[in-house]
Amino acid sequence: MPVEEAPGAITVQCPGCGQESLHTVLRGRQSRGGVTITLDATVQCTDCQHTHHVVVREAAPIDVAVVISRGQESRRTKTALPGDDDLETGEALIVDGMNCKVTGIESRDGRRVDAASVKDIQTLWTKEFEEMAVKVAINLRQKTITKIIAARAEEEFTVGQEYLFGRLRVTIHAIKTEERLLKRGTATAGEIVRVFASPTPLGERTHRPDKRQREAIRHAEERDTR
């Protein structure tokens, strides 16, 4: 497998503070095999300074052609998107440092579609937007993906709030501002560094489990976060 330079920072679960947090990559190697990238690294949590070892696998990025419209002008470029991601019209992206909203998707078979897997996209049509791009790190079972929400600077984000990205429904569980990490409460888009979210569990429990079951669930959840 070809070895590549490891990224400088990644978002992973920290066994020290139990947070899904930004980590500095101290040393490590990244290798590419087929459509998968594997990062094997020693990382340090930027919140609690805990150092640990991680192996992260994710889909290799795919270069997608993008047309960016800005006012009357438009230009073509390319951007690398996660190979296993889905995109739909209305979603926000950052392309060449510009905040863009997807206005049209052309699939590889030449059709205009409302949504597609990244690997099936021929061209993305986008339009620059003026609002802020709020980054949402979503912790999936094996990896973390980042989605963007276009928001006005004063728009509020609250822990516990739900968002829908295509078919992916997520709930915010923490918000990192320049000052601190919020486990509850509200922050405005203008002060947010990153929002952390997890998929919302399908359906709520219909009855409250008894005390022993609750303890068992709590222990299992605690184990999972280690």
Binding site for Zn ion (CB under 5 A): 14, 16-17, 45, 47-48, 50
Other Cβ atoms closer than 10 A to 19: 23
User: Collapsing DSSP states into helix, strand and coil, what is residue 96?
Assistant: coil
CB of 217 to Zn ion, least distance (A): 24
CA-based torsion, 147, 13, 47, 82: positive or negative: negative
CB of 15 to Zn ion, least distance (A): 8
Judged by beta carbon, residue 10 or residue 14, the one nearer Zn ion is 14
At 185, list the tokens. Answer: 């409460």
Distance CA 198, CA 163 (A): 10
Helix (H) or strand (E) holding 7: none
Judged by beta carbon, residue 54 or residue 115, the one nearer Zn ion is 54
Give backbone dihedrals phi and psi of 26, rounded to 5 degrees, phi first.
-80, -50
CB of 17 to Zn ion, least distance (A): 3
Judged by beta carbon, residue 24 or residue 69, the one nearer Zn ion is 24
CB of 43 to Zn ion, least distance (A): 10
Judged by beta carbon, residue 51 or residue 186, the one nearer Zn ion is 51
What letter represents residue 197's amino acid? A
